Amino acid sequence: MTTPAETSADDMQPAPWWSEAVFYQIYPRSFADANGDGVGDLRGVQEKLGYLELLGVDALWLSPVMRSPMADHGYDVSDPRDIDPLFGDVDAMDDLIEAAHARQIKVTMDLVPNHTSIEHEWFRAALQASPDSPERDRYIFRDGRGPDGSEPPNNWPSIFGGPAWTRITEPDGRPGQWYLHLFAAEQPDLNWNNPEVFEDLEKTLRFWLDRGVDGFRIDVAHGMAKPEGLPDHDWDTNALLQNADDDPRFNHPSVHDIHRGIRKILNEYPGAMAVGEIWVRDNVRFGEYIRPDELNLGFNFRLAEAEFSAESVREAIENSLAAVEQVGATPTWTLSNHDVDREVTRYGGGVIGLARARAMALVELALPGTTFIYNGAELGLPNVDLPDDALQDPVWERSGHTERGRDGCRVPLPWEGVEPPFGFTTGASTWLPMPEDWSSLTAEAQLEDVTSTLSLYRAALELRELRPEFSGPGVDWYGSPPGCFAFRRGGGLICALNATDAPISLPPGEVLLSSAPLVDGQLPPNAAAWLI
C-alpha cells in the first residue's frame, strides 16, 4: 500500500491518495472466473484480492462491467447503473468494494460517456420516434446526402473501420436518417449538446459513488463534444484505432465544459477521482484536460508507445513530465492495457522481450506520479497469436479481416496447474483459448520462484512503498554511455537502464533491485537497476 500521504510544498495539504498510487487494471472477463462459464466475473476478482494485496497494489481499475450486449466487450453500455449478468450483479459489485476496502485497496471503474449501446432504452426510443424528435436529439441523427439521402452525412470513418454512420429504417418502413458512431455501429454517439445527456451521467456518477466506488476511468475522455456542422475532413493519414490532433471527431474545445461538470460532482465525494483516456499528442492541449477544475489524472501513452531504446524511453519520460508540469498536474505511466500489445511482445518477444519488459517495469515504477499495471504484466505474459476463428474483437470484422484487433492481449490469466485453463475457471474452456505452454507463467509457479517476474514486481512495489528515496517531483538525468540512461529522484533513488547489447558500469551507490542479476558488478544488457 502507499505510504501516508505526503505534504505538498505549495499548499501544505496532504497529497491525494492517487498521486503516487499503483493502479492494477483488471480486464474482468480475463482475470478470474468464479462460476465456471469460462468468462471472468466480479466474484472471481473478489476471490483474488489476497493475491492483489500480496502484489502490493493500491487501487483497482475495472474495465466495463455495466450491463451490455457485449458488441465491444462492455464498452457498449445498455444500462450504466446496473451490472451485466455475465459479471454478476450489483450485490457482487457491492461485496467486491467492501472486501477491497477491507484490504485498503481502492476500487475504480470504467465510465463510457461518449456513446451507448443500440440496446439502451434511449436509442430504442429514438428508433421509434420521428426525425427532429426529443428522442432522436439525445443522439446525433442526420439526414443523408444525395437526392435520396443514401449517402452518409459526412465522410467520417469509424475508429474500428468502415464509415462512422449507419442508416436506419424509419418506423413506417422507409429508409431513414443516419446516426453517428465513432466506434462500432452498435455504439451510437450521444449528443452532448442535449442537457439530458449530462443529467443522466450525473445520475450514473452518484449511483456508483454512493455505493463506495472511489473513482472512474473515463473512456474516450477527448471525445463526446463534436464540431458544429460535422464538417468533412481529409483522412489520408487515418488509421484504425488511432486519431491525429487535427481529427474533428475528437478534442473539441467544448469537451472541457463536460469535464468541469464531472469534476464538480466528484468534488462532493471526498477522495473521489477520475482519470481520462486522452489520445492527444500536443502537450498544451493534453494539459488542458488535467487543469485543477477538470480531470484529476490523464493517461499519457508515450511510454507505452516508445520503442525499447534509451533515447525513445527518455524522450517519452521528458515529454510526459513536461505535459503535466505546465498545469501542475500528476504524471501517469503505463506500459500496456487492454488496447495495447503486451510489452513482452512489443519489445521483441521471447527471452529478450521478457528481459526488456522487466527492465521497463523498474523504469516505470521509479518515476514520480501514478502508475497503471495491466493484469498479467506482472506475470510477464506475451501477446497470444490466436487462430482466426477465435477472434472476437469487432475490429477484426469491421476491417474485413485485415486487422486482427486486440484479442491477443486479452487472453485469460494463468493462475495454477500445468495445462489450460490453468485455474482460471472450473469449466472446460475459456472465452479466448489459452496457450498450452503457459505453465511456467502461472501465478502459482512464479510465487515460488524468487527470480520470477512476479517476484520482481512484488519486490519493486514493496520498495516503492517503504523507501523514502521514492519521493520528489521530476527527475534529474545523469551523463550515461550511448544506449543507456540514469536518472535520480529528489528523494535519492537512482534508476539506470542499459538498452545496449553489452554490460555497463553502474552509477555509484548501493543496488536495491535489478531486473537481471549483475555480471561482475555490471548491469547486463536489456536490464535496469535501482540504487541509492
DSSP-derived secondary structure for 419-483? STTTTS-SSS--SSPPPTT-GGGSHHHHHT-TTSHHHHHHHHHHHHHH-TTS-SSS-EEPP--TT
DSSP 8-state secondary structure symbol assigned to residue 388: G
Alpha helices in 278-347, H assignment, sequence order: 283-288, 302-305, 310-325, 343-346
* 273 beta partners: 215
Closest CA to 276 of 288, 268, 265: 288
- Known active-site residue 219: yes
* Contacts (Cβ under 8 Å, ≥6 apart) of 118: 69, 71, 76, 124, 185, 186, 187, 188
Q: Provide the pairing of β-strand 273-277 with 297-299.
A: parallel
Taking the C-alpha atoms of residue 132 and residue 129, their distance in angstroms, rounded to an integer, is 9
Taking the C-alpha atoms of residue 241 and residue 292, their distance in angstroms, rounded to an integer, is 29
Residue with cell 475457471: 425
Q: Are 368 and 475 within 8 A, CB to CB?
A: yes
Q: Is 121 helix (H, G, I), strand (E, B) or coil?
A: helix
Taking the C-alpha atoms of residue 344 and residue 356, their distance in angstroms, rounded to an integer, is 7
Alpha helices in 62-188, H assignment, sequence order: 90-102, 121-128
Q: Which of 6, 91, 268, 311 is catalytic?
A: 268
Taking the C-alpha atoms of residue 472 and residue 8, their distance in angstroms, rounded to an integer, is 10
Q: Which of 186, 219, 277, 294 is catalytic?
A: 219
- Known active-site residue 268: yes
Q: How far is CA 157 from CA 15, 99, 183, 366, 399, in A?
A: 42, 43, 9, 40, 12
Annotate 360-391 with b (16+ C-beta within 10 A) or e (fewer). Answer: bbbbbbbbbbbbbbbbbbbbbbbbbebeeeeb
Residue with cell 413506417: 172
Burial of 264 (0-12, 13-18, 19+ CB in 10 A): exposed
Q: Are 338 and 372 within 8 A, CB to CB?
A: no
Catalytic sites, residue numbers: 219, 268
